[in-house]
Amino acid sequence: MYAAAIPFPAIDPVLIEIGPLAIRWYALAYIAGLVLGWRYVVRLMRREDLWGRRGAPATADDIDDLLTWVALGVILGGRLGYVLFYNPGYYLANPLQIPVLWEGGMSFHGGFLGVILAIFGFARKRGIPLFPLGDSIAAAAPIGLFFGRIANFINAELYGRATDVPWAVLFPVAPDGRLEARHPSQLYEAALEGLLLFLVLRFLTHRREALERPGLVTGVFLIGYGLSRIVVETVREPDAHIGYLVPLGWTGVTMGMVLSLPMVLIGLWFALRAPRQA
């Protein structure tokens, strides 16, 4: 099985280390996702032709200010989501470990809820229409997802289950670091949740007047992410301390599936309630 597997590119998770200061790829992925996503939303706001007669819901200056809110939502929500959804027992016994972000442990679903709260609070404070603002953020969200999954791959974490497919990657499996051929599930997610979903949303916003139909882009994002995550979860190794919530033959129901299914259902509701015409 190992003869056909692709060796894992041993990339040091720490890009630069100066004394006690360490700059990690994981942190750079978050920064790149936030900065590029912010610039993309600014460009959307400046394209008045994409918004129809209502016009863009916010100014470029508004989006500059929103960046701080979204960053806090991603970081705080992502960490608290991981603590509450994936390992509450451990952190209840070790509360001082909760702020230790550099050792890993972030939840997309928690970060997603944090961003929702950030957008809601910001929109209410500035008097900005909620759904159009949310649509612009949803259109840019796959950028951050792409970089985040690439960072997961570099860190050799969240890998898939053992397999003999030709594109399997020899991951150093924790805790003893032995090599095992596994699905590169991080790259699957980068391709589906990141690249493909971005292209789908880009097509809708720039070719199908989707930004003129408040809630549609958000709905498609929720559906796309939820389905992508559920599909990849069938080959992704479940968290060791959780395992399969419901074993089903060669796979099973995971926590990621359970958290993603409501996103699909809510996304369908958003897409169906969106105005049918621009």
Residue 202 marked in a binding site: no
User: Rounded to an integer, what distance in angstroms lies between the CA atom of residue 9 and that of residue 43?
Assistant: 35
Whether 58 and 87 have beta carbons less than 8 Å apart is answered as no
175 prior amide bond cis, ω within 30: yes
Residue 7: strand, helix, or coil:
strand
Q: Count the Cβ atoms, other than its own, within 10 Å of residue 14.
A: 13
* Torsional class of 215: left (φ above 0), alpha (ψ -120 to 50), beta (otherwise): left
What count of Cα atoms within 13 Å lies in the side-chain half-sphere of residue 116?
10
The residue with tokens 């992704």 is 236
Q: What is the CA radius of gyration of the chain?
A: 20
- How far is residue 276's CA from residue 273's CA, in Å, rounded to a whole number? 8
Tell me how far apart the alpha carbons of residues 231 and 63 are, in angstroms, rounded to a whole number: 33
Question: How far apart (Å, rounded) are the C-alpha atoms in residues 178 and 29?
Answer: 27
Annotated binding-site positions: 149
